[in-house]
Structure 1
Amino acid sequence: MKWFPWRRRHAAHDTSPAVEPDSDQVAEWLEPAVENPQARAERFWVRWHELLPRINSALGDSEPKRIEHLLCEEVAAIHPELHFSVERGQRAVYALVVTGQERPDLRPYTDAWQLAAPPEDLIWEYHDSVPPVPDPTQVTVNIGEHRLRLADVRVVAQVDRDAGVVDVAVHHPKLAALPDDARTAMTFLPLDATLGERLAAERLRRVETAEAAPEHGITLVELRTIVRGLAGQDADGNPMEHTTPSGEA
């Protein structure tokens, strides 16, 4: 249930037209940059608690548009270039995601937002980057008349262990039938769904679209195991413990 579908910003593929704001917009957009991100974040959470009964009611009635504009305004008040979405939670019913798409200049705002977030409960969990889905092979993406199962994705992965990164080429049997923008989306979407936005940004160096089926492709789950291993994580994405061998100081 994404109200504002984000897409991975990639200079080689980003063909979005430039928008020239008027002077009033410029003044409004520059305002967050001169105020403490912590103050912006704390203000958001005050408003979140005030709006929470209306938010829960709208979602309970399956009418998210009732509070869409309100949340859009509150997130923009932290920084106008942040993106947000409401997802199905992994530990709670809903997940609120506020992301700067791994832009370094926006990290102070998402870091402050996450730091000031309330504890998770049965209804809400909070993420400052798009998290991975538990099992990408169970996800089906609808693009126009096409239904694309992520279970059918195959990846060629070239691992640079010295640099701790992976170069990948992504293939799906239906990629060739998609228009260019949808093909680009279906190249990055499986990776972000599998790894999560942050790990994908940290550990994937080059990403290409492979229209022909690779001879030695691996599944998305196998790719996740490789990338998490490079990042020092176990199969569940938790940091691996490093123990000293017996007999060593």
Structure 2
Amino acid sequence: MRLFRRSRKSEDVPDPRTAWPEQPVPEDAAAAAVTFWEAWFALLPEVSAALGDREPHRVEHDLCTIVEALHPRLHFSLDRGHRAIYSLVLTGQEDPELRPYTDAWKAAAPPEDAIWEYHDSVPPVPDPSEVTVNLGETRIALADVRVTAKVDDSAGRVDVTVFHPLIEELRPETRTTMTFLPLDATLGERVAAERLGKVELVTEAQDGQLTLLELREVVGRLGSPTPGNVGTPD
């Protein structure tokens, strides 16, 4: 799922010796959320046309602007939906300081319809074993990911290791992505943050390994601390 952020032209980038200007943060999250949705509906005809033409970059700048007005550290994505044709995802990447803004955004969201669904964190994919991602020049099939799971029932959390046969082919900077991407795809961003404890990438197969769908079952047996079930979009 692609995350868009505001792109700046080279002439807009300040001298690196100059501190980046602070971006204003609205004091009233609820009011900022209402303003976002007003701007979204005004922009929606252009968004629909861009998606219909498979040219989402045409509205990237405008969408970045209205998201940034809600809070400058929020991320968003447009993707295929699970219940509707498209989904709009707004995420603070589980930063507690951003939660009031994503909560207000979701509370003010319009009802979902056949065209749009809305998520305040990255939802899980229906079947992660069907997903293949490109990390650098390496194609990683999530069906080949194996994990171990050590459950702490008293804490309601699971420590995991993550392994893939091609892990040695990845550059160091992409290995962090390989560590967390399969877990977010399997559990959803919010459940992964709330239910996973220690997460470690390993370069050798471990005893007692599970598939990602088996990990989903393990975490699901702990129950869900937030509305929505593990492995299903909220």
How many equivalent residue pairs? 221
Q: Cα 1:21–1:114, aligned 2, differ >3 Å: closer, same or farther? A: farther
1:164 to 144, 156, 171: 156
- TM-score calculated relative to the size of structure 2: 0.89
Asked whether the 8 Å contact 1:114–1:126 carries over to 2, the reply is yes
Distance (Å, rounded) in 2 between the aligned partners of 1:90 and 1:137: 16
The 3-state SS of whatever aligns with 1:104 is coil
Q: Which amino acid aligns with 1:86?
A: L
Q: Deviations over 1:113-165 (max 9, x none)?
A: 00000011111100000000000000001122211110000001100001000
- TM-score calculated relative to the size of structure 1: 0.84
For the aligned residue pairs, the C-alpha RMSD in angstroms reads: 2.0
Percentage identity across paired residues of the two chains: 57
2:96 to 76, 101, 104: 104
Residue matched to 2:4: 4
Q: Deviations over 1:7-47 (max 9, x none)?
A: xxxxxxxxxxxx88747x22xx2x324x2000000000001
2:110 to 97, 111, 118: 118
Asked whether the 8 Å contact 2:156–2:222 carries over to 1, the reply is yes
Distance (Å, rounded) in 1 between the aligned partners of 2:36 and 2:75: 14
Matched, 1:58 2:50: yes
Q: Deviations over 1:88-123 (max 9, x none)?
A: 100011100000001111000000000000011111
Q: Which amino acid aligns with 1:80?
A: P
Q: Which has the larger radius of gyration?
A: 1
Residue matched to 1:32: 25
Asked whether the 8 Å contact 1:194–1:224 carries over to 2, the reply is yes
* Equivalent residue runs for 1:177-192 within 5 Å: 177-192=169-184
Asked whether the 8 Å contact 1:110–1:128 carries over to 2, the reply is yes
Q: Cα 1:237–1:50, aligned 2, differ >3 Å: closer, same or farther? A: closer
Q: Cα 1:20–1:175, aligned 2, differ >3 Å: closer, same or farther? A: farther
Residue matched to 1:72: 64
Asked whether the 8 Å contact 1:228–1:237 carries over to 2, the reply is no
Structure 1 residues not aligned, in runs of 5+: 6-18, 240-249
Distance (Å, rounded) in 2 between the aligned partners of 1:21 and 1:166: 43
Distance (Å, rounded) in 2 between the aligned partners of 1:235 and 1:206: 19
The 3-state SS of whatever aligns with 2:148 is strand
Distance (Å, rounded) in 2 between the aligned partners of 1:60 and 1:238: 24
Once the two structures are TM-superposed, the CA of residue 4 in structure 1 deviates from its matched residue by 2.5
Residue matched to 2:33: 41
Q: Which amino acid aligns with 1:180?
A: P
Once the two structures are TM-superposed, the CA of residue 236 in structure 1 deviates from its matched residue by 5.8
The 3-state SS of whatever aligns with 2:102 is helix
Once the two structures are TM-superposed, the CA of residue 177 in structure 1 deviates from its matched residue by 1.2
Once the two structures are TM-superposed, the CA of residue 237 in structure 1 deviates from its matched residue by 4.7
Asked whether the 8 Å contact 2:129–2:142 carries over to 1, the reply is yes
Matched, 1:210 2:195: no
Moved more, 142-151 or 42-51: 142-151
Q: Cα 1:38–1:138, aligned 2, differ >3 Å: closer, same or farther? A: same
The 3-state SS of whatever aligns with 2:97 is helix
Asked whether the 8 Å contact 1:194–1:220 carries over to 2, the reply is yes
Once the two structures are TM-superposed, the CA of residue 238 in structure 1 deviates from its matched residue by 9.4
